[in-house]
């Protein structure tokens, strides 16, 4: 049942009546509200209006069916009649639409309120996590020209296994054994890539390979990692309130995580001055630490860390000195033209003659399996006996 069938004005009147009373949109209350408008509808029509109002008032409105689809990773609203989804093969348009721009704005503001955030003319954008883990971002007009822009990234309750990622083409055939060896050897690593390349998905899967007796401590700005592991401690940052108090940064979380006896320290996304805390931690006996990092290529990772370190007051020589001892491997993800997310390359980190850390290609994506590059010999030595004799 849609607003077109029942009449947009009628639906608005019922919505306003229920909002004024503060009542939950049950079928009985919807029927009473409809009667108050002088309209007699059958049971099927009443149930349809009730479900539509429930989705709008306590759900995600017209987006409900899209978010319930297990294949959907992202839902993007650019205008009332422009709703897109990503099912792992790139963006595709949908037939879902909103009644008008006000409906999109209303949904965005309600979702922000559910997440405990403010979204209005004074603060026209928000980045938050909904109670079910969904990551939301919204921008109101006039900053967003024409209509409220709403982006929802679905966080699935269970991590994919490496076998599932191999079947999906993210991991090449045979690549699972290299990744398992990486975890068993307790090498520290970062997963790099652009936005939407699957960094969090792959990291969740790899953390599921950590031994069951190890304690994983996660530090994230927004809790998105869902490793399938029996001992996970999750720390999540928070913004300051309207009075400017209560801010908890990722750097704060990393410091606290170090006092929680982690076997594996994980920073969901390294993007600020917490890089200094992470590198220091990985230099003090915390083997197997990891995180994600935005970078165009694996070769750009040192430069990216340099920029973050400089902003945190760490000079170039000091950063490279810590980096050389802290991290061993970079796993880089890309999203190809077909929309498929995949591991493009694996690099090992070495120091050059000038003492700077440089990534050396070790493995490269191949349709039949990883292709070996000049850094493979060093990576194999780092993996040691955990890799076995098959490669």
List pLDDT tens digits, range 63-77.
988 988 988 989 999
- In the chain, what percentage of residues exceed pLDDT 70? 84
Q: Which position has the higher pLDDT, 360 or 160?
A: 360
Beta-bridge partners for 294 = 193
Position 7 scores a pLDDT of: 47
Predicted TM-score of the model (pTM): 0.79
pLDDT, average across residues 87-92: 84
Q: At what angle do helices 27-36 and 8-21 cross, to 10 degrees?
A: 110
Render pLDDT for 138-188 as a digit per residue (tens, 0 to 9). Answer: 999 999 999 999 999 988 777 889 999 999 899 999 999 999 999 999 999
Could you tell me the sign of the dihedral formed by the alpha carbons of 12, 14, 17, 19, in that order? negative
pLDDT band at 2 (very low <50, low <70, confident <90, very high): very low
User: What's the rounded Cα separation, in Å, for the pair 33 and 26?
Assistant: 11
Q: At what angle do helices 250-257 and 274-282 cross, to 10 degrees?
A: 20
Position 1 scores a pLDDT of: 38
Q: Does residue 362 register a pLDDT over 70?
A: yes
Position 31 scores a pLDDT of: 65
What distances in angstroms separate CA 231 from CA 5, 206, 207, 208, 273, one per listed residue? 51, 14, 11, 10, 27
């Amino acid at each position: 049942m849609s607003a077109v069938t029942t009449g947009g004005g009628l639906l608005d009147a019922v919505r306003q009546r229920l909002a004024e009373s503060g009542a939950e949109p049950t079928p009985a209350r919807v029927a009473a509200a409809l009667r108050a408008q002088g309209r007699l509808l059958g049971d099927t029509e009443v149930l349809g209006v009730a479900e539509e109002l429930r989705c709008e008032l306590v759900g995600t409105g017209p987006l409900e069916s899209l978010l319930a689809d297990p294949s959907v990773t992202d839902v993007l609203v650019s205008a009332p009649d422009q709703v897109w989804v990503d099912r792992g093969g790139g963006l595709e348009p949908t037939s879902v639409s909103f009644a008008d721009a006000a409906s999109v704005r209303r949904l965005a503001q309600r979702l922000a309120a559910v997440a405990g955030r403010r979204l209005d003319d004074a603060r026209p954008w928000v980045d938050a996590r909904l109670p079910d883990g969904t990551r939301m971002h919204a921008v109101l007009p006039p900053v967003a020209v024409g209509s409220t822009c709403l982006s929802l990234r679905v966080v699935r309750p269970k991590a994919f296994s490496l076998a599932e990622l191999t079947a999906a083409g993210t991991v090449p055939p045979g690549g699972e054994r290299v990744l398992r060896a990486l975890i068993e050897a307790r090498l520290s690593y970062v997963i790099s890539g652009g936005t939407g390349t699957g960094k969090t998905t792959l990291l969740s899967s790899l953390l599921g390979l950590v031994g069951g007796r190890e304690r994983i401590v996660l530090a994230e700005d927004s809790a998105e990692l869902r490793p399938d592991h029996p001992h996970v401690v999750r720390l999540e940052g928070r913004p300051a309130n309207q009075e400017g108090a209560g801010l908890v940064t990722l750097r704060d979380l990393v410091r606290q995580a170090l006092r929680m006896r982690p076997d594996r320290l994980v920073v969901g996304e390294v993007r600020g001055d917490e890089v200094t805390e992470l590198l220091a931690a990985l230099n003090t006996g915390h083997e197997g630490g990891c995180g994600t990092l935005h970078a165009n290529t694996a070769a750009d990772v040192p430069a990216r860390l340099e920029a973050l370190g400089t902003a945190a007051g760490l000079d170039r020589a000091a950063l490279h000195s810590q980096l050389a001892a802290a991290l061993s491997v970079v796993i880089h993800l890309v999203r190809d033209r077909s929309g498929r997310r995949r591991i493009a390359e694996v690099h090992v980190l070495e120091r050059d003659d000038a003492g700077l850390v440089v990534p050396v290609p070790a493995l490269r994506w191949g349709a039949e399996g990883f292709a070996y590059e000049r850094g493979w010999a060093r990576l194999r030595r780092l993996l040691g006996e955990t890799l076995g004799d098959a490669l």
